[in-house]
Amino acid sequence: MKVIICGAGQVGWQIARHLSGEQNDVTVVDNNPDLVRRATDTLDVQGIAGFASYPDVLDRAGARDADMIIAATYSDEVNMVICQVAHSVFGIRRKIARLRAQSYLNAIYSDLYRRDHLPIDVVISPEREVAAAALQRLSAPAAFDTETFMGGKAQLLGIALEEGCPVVNTPLRQLTDLFSTLRAIVVGIRRDGTLFAPESNDQLFVGDEIYVFAHAEDVGRTLEVFGKQQGKQDRVVIAGGGNVGLAVALELERREGRIRAKVIEKDRGRAERAAEALERTIVLHGDGLDSALLSEAGIERADALLAVTDDDKTNMLVAVRAKANGCPLAIALINDPTLIPLMGPLGIDAYINPRATTVSSILRHIRHGRVREVYSIGDAEAEVIEAEVLSTSPMAGQRIRDIDFPEGVLIGMILRKGEILRPSGSVRIEEGDVIAIFAMAADVREVERLMQVSIDFF
């Protein structure tokens, strides 16, 4: 597949990294020559320095025979023009644009993106994706990472194993015997900084970070098995009243129950806009690093702090200060992946990586076949792919134990006729099943082959 990626920032670079690693023909376009050089030096991609909205620049990038264009520059309007030029001049079939401004995302204006108006096939909103990720973190506070699959019937949980975990030093194969009715399976383990897909005789150790697939109804019990307690978030303090913080606060207001949220925003204009948009949420104007303001927001009595300003270091420091003041759960928005290893030593419970959420959203629309969901884990180390099994798939009709999976691939959960099944070697995969597969990055291409996706491309 020939793909043009417009914008060589963090998101564009990560998408290029994914696609070039799967032997696609990738060209990166950016008006910053240094970013283009970084992409071509570190990845197996071609690079063009220039304005991606210019037809001659796209022509040099190979737009005449491209299969897809991904517009991920920092400007919404440039991304829109890129898609229009790609459609009108070059007839590129698949056009994906990243848009930030909320006005462009309003459902009442959705006709704007029809082919006879502004031809964009898929619109990705980083702020909405990040807000959704933040709400998921709040819904599973004992997990450092979480994502829902299969229409909300299954959940991926990232759990850090600590002293007192009842299943430490237990081989995974024994967990099935010990908890025979628990619909959960460990699909990934990060140990000493290295992520891998475990085998049945692997043990769990204190300090491991594990990824577990669980039936939505068994999430609480799954957390207990691995030594965690599921708590309630009735009082939430949100540091940052921009698009992400406002979206989270609005959703908390819409939810049933008496969730009480307070928003702290340093910029006066943003604080005023947030106060106008929110009905039951108190908005405080000031710096989230101010101890007195945190106390005024009730951080000592809060169940959770969500730090989502546009500055990583501010988010980290606000989270640390909240923990020091007795807040049991602190979640920080972190753009820079090099800061993530500091989360543990600083005592920050969980983080949200906007780049990973945006990349996952774009990958969902890039993957071939009947792919319904894609979630990127860590620094693009692995993916969880949810997809429907076609009749032509080599997996259809086979028992799981007979499928020739690579070592870095595990089935996490199966959805069959509306029912969730826990995978085991004796389960036979049937046409129409929806399966969630954990795959190390190097094995994603083989997973796509097993899904027999080429005949069902787009």
Per-residue pLDDT tens digits for 52-90: 999 999 999 999 999 999 999 999 999 999 999 999 999
Report domain 366-456's class: alpha beta
CATH for 235-352, options being 3.40.50.1980, 3.20.20.140, 3.40.50.720, 3.10.105.10: 3.40.50.720
Q: How far apart are CA 284 and CA 221, in angstroms?
A: 38
So what's the pLDDT on residue 452?
Answer: 60
β pairing state of 25-30 and 46-49: parallel
Closest by CA position to 376, among listed 349, 352, 345, 403 = 352
User: pTM of the full predicted structure?
Assistant: 0.72
Q: How far apart are CA 371 and CA 451, in angstroms?
A: 9
So what's the pLDDT on residue 453?
Answer: 47
Closest by CA position to 42, among listed 20, 74, 62 = 20
Helix, strand, or coil (residue 418): coil
Q: Which pair of structure tokens corresponds to residue 391? A: 């009749």
**Rg, the chain, Cα only:** 23
Helix, strand, or coil (residue 213): strand
Query: Do residues 377 and 211 touch, judged by C-beta distance below 8 A?
Result: yes
Closest by CA position to 358, among listed 153, 151, 122 = 122
Helices (H) and strands (E) in the chain, counts: 15, 22
* Bridge partners of residue 235, in order along the sequence: 260
CATH 3.40.50.720: does it fit domain 2-124?
yes
Segments of the chain assigned to CATH 3.40.50.720: 2-124, 235-352
So what's the pLDDT on residue 372?
Answer: 82
Q: How far apart are CA 266 and CA 286, in angstroms?
A: 4
Q: How far apart are CA 424 and CA 401, in angstroms?
A: 8
Helix, strand, or coil (residue 137): helix
Query: Do residues 370 and 435 touch, judged by C-beta distance below 8 A?
Result: no
What DSSP character marks residue 118? S
Q: Which pair of structure tokens corresponds to residue 385? A: 């792919």
Q: Rounding to the nearest 10 degrees, give the CA dihedral for residues 55, 58, 62, 66.
A: -100
Report domain 130-225's class: alpha beta
Closest by CA position to 350, among listed 129, 133, 186, 125 = 133
Segments of the chain assigned to CATH 3.30.70.1450: 130-225, 366-456
So what's the pLDDT on residue 457?
Answer: 39
Q: Spell out, as residue ranges, where the chain has pLDDT lower than 50.
A: 453-458
Helix, strand, or coil (residue 199): coil
